[in-house]
Amino acid sequence: MSQALGNHILVEFMNCDPHIMNDVAAIERDMVDAAKKAEATVINSTFHHFSPYGVSGVVVIQESHLAIHTWPEYGYAAVDVFTCGEMNAWIAFDYLKESFQAKSYSAIEMKRGSVNLLTRNDFDISTMRQKANEWVNPGFYTRNVWFTDKDENQALSLRFTGEVFYDQQTPFQRVRILESYKYGKMLALDDMVMTTEKDEFHYHEMISHPSLFMHPNPKNVLVIGGGDGGTIREVLRHSGVEKVTMVEIDGAVIEACKEHLPKIAASFDDPKLTLLVDDGIAFIEKAESETYDVILVDGSDPVGPAEGLFSVSFYTHCYRALKKDGILVAQGESPKFNEKAFRELNLTLQSIFGKENAPVSLFFVPTYPTGMWSFQYGMKGNINRIDDSKTESIDAFVREQGLRYYNAAIHQSSFALPNFVKTLIQ
Ligand code: SPD
């Protein structure tokens, strides 16, 4: 066979997993790993996620390149691997076929740069080096990878650095810790943002402190979900709380956050905490009646493992497990992003706790779609929800603990709602 400078394989990967085809971080990792498996020397890589879907990218290797374009809606990837020297491109092909879970594929192989057709020049290589040194990167090219939390019509996107600190598919969900430019590291469950380093305090202060200040003497607290640890960290700031039980279904969330989000997962070693890696729904069904002063339901959105945390049966058991003055606070979704879930949860709580005893508290989380989010309450007893006499103690607590969201004025207006939200839950 005549000599050639390079070898090029053009590959069609078909019927691939569409989620992988839309996962820019996974594709970049797989392409770089494919190059390494084939014993190439990786120089650089750049990958881009397109909105709403699709990924393009290239891995530059000492031996030429690997490039990809994906169409997740067709489960299709167009890949080319160009090599020179001894590198075997088919090793990269085999690796990618497995990684993308391609059920069918085809490929053509071409020799590139046939030496019979080429004439070698003598050129002054020193001029080329000088030119290369003079060249200044105009900085046109920036990494542009976005994590998008969305439904069919709305989305919240965070530009992320491409760093993936943790990525595991557990029996319950896909658990990821990624790094965003604006909000630092973040925990994502499936494709939903759960919490980020820079705005986690909005959520965690607001799920815990209002109810703990509304209750006359909260001692025994149950947290369902909350695997990142932010909620128990806030609850344990209250010296009067004697016992906290936390029931999280997915141990991987706890482990990932302990390792990569230690400021959020800061209180797992507290002696007042009893940590159970278990199903919160099964737990509450078996819980003793009239046991807890406060129950905090720090669940995910009502899809996947958290779906049952929005059911009548679950909240009926929560009601039973609360003491007579007990307060329930549940992650209540958004009246803008998810009106249906927001409204249905409120109707559920009204039906169990009574119409007047199911108030809603709104707060802001920049990294959740629409930014407007809620906690929904169930008040079992006649709690004086907004007690002026607490103002000084709240202010002192806020100062001592260095809180950044909650304060006495927010406490006073805990249940103030815009008119459209009032209408939604009437
Ligand atoms: N769409 C986000 C819903 C919030 C779920 N819980 C967040 C966990 C923070 N501890």
Beta-bridge mates of residue 162: none
Beta-bridge mates of residue 375: 331, 361
Q: Residue 164 pLDDT > 90, yes or no?
A: no
Predicted TM-score (pTM) of the model is 0.75
Strands 145-150 and 155-169 come out as antiparallel
Q: How confident is the model at residue 302 (pLDDT cuts 50, 70, 90)?
A: confident
- Cα(95)–Cα(79) distance, integer angstroms: 12
* Residue owning the nearest CA to atom 8 of ligand 1: 194
- Which SS3 state, helix, strand or coil, does residue 401 take? helix
pLDDT at position 316 is 98
pLDDT at position 145 is 75
What is the number of the ligand 1 atom nearest to the C-alpha of 300? 5
User: Which of the four CATH numbers 3.40.50.300, 3.30.300.30, 3.60.90.10, 3.10.20.740 does domain 4-115 have?
Assistant: 3.60.90.10
Q: Which amino acid is at 68?
A: I
Name the helix (H) or strand (E) containing 47.
Answer: strand 42-49
Q: Residue 142 pLDDT > 60, yes or no?
A: no
Instruction: Give 134 or 30, the one with higher predicted confidence.
Output: 30
Rg of the chain taking only CA atoms, in angstroms: 27
Segment 160-187 mean pLDDT: 92
Pocket test residue of 194, 204, 329 for ligand 1, highest count of atoms within 8 A of CB: 194
pLDDT at position 36 is 94
User: Which of the four CATH numbers 3.40.630.30, 3.40.50.150, 2.40.30.10, 3.40.30.10 does domain 200-424 have?
Assistant: 3.40.50.150
Q: Do 392 and 412 form a contact (C-beta atoms < 8 A)?
A: no
Neighbours of 311 (CB within 10 A): 15
Quick one: fold of 146-196?
A: Spermidine Synthase; Chain: A, domain 2 (2.30.140)
Neighbours of 278 (CB within 10 A): 14
Pocket of ligand 1 (CB under 6 A): 192, 194-195, 203, 226, 228, 230-231, 298, 300-301, 331, 368
Q: Do 43 and 62 form a contact (C-beta atoms < 8 A)?
A: yes
Q: Residue 300 pLDDT > 70, yes or no?
A: yes
Tell me how far apart the terminal alpha carbons of the chain are, to the nearest angstrom: 81
pLDDT at position 388 is 81
Q: Residue 367 pLDDT > 60, yes or no?
A: yes
pLDDT at position 25 is 86
pLDDT at position 281 is 96
Read off the tokens for 15: 């019927």
- Cα(19)–Cα(156) distance, integer angstroms: 19
Q: Residue 140 pLDDT > 60, yes or no?
A: no
Segment 315-325 mean pLDDT: 97
Spatial strand order in the sheet of 4-14: 42-49, 55-61, 64-71, 76-84, 4-14, 104-114
pLDDT at position 150 is 87
Segment 172-181 mean pLDDT: 94
Q: What pLDDT, in 10s, does the model give residues 181-206?
A: 999 999 999 989 999 999 999 999 99
Q: Residue 358 pLDDT > 80, yes or no?
A: yes
Q: Give the chain's mean pLDDT.
A: 93
- Which SS3 state, helix, strand or coil, does residue 266 take? coil
Q: What pLDDT, in 10s, does the model give residues 64-118?
A: 999 999 999 999 999 999 999 888 999 999 999 999 999 999 999 999 999 899 9
Q: Do 47 and 57 form a contact (C-beta atoms < 8 A)?
A: yes
Which residues are tagged catalytic?
298
Instruction: Give 336 or 44, the one with higher predicted confidence.
Output: 336
pLDDT at position 387 is 74
Could you give the count of Cα atoms lying within 13 Å of 58 in the half-sphere of its Cβ?
8
Q: 261: which residues sit within 8 A by CB, 6+ positions away? A: 177, 185, 187, 195, 197, 228, 229
Domain ranges of the chain: 4-115, 146-196, 200-424
Q: What pLDDT, in 10s, does the model give residues 5-48?
A: 999 999 999 999 999 999 988 999 999 999 999 999 888 888 88
Q: Do 401 and 393 form a contact (C-beta atoms < 8 A)?
A: no
- Cα(174)–Cα(102) distance, integer angstroms: 20
Q: What pLDDT, in 10s, does the model give residues 239-272?
A: 999 999 999 999 999 999 999 999 999 999 999 9
Separation of CA 290 and ligand 1 centre (Å): 27
Read off the tokens for 30: 């797989």
pLDDT at position 139 is 62
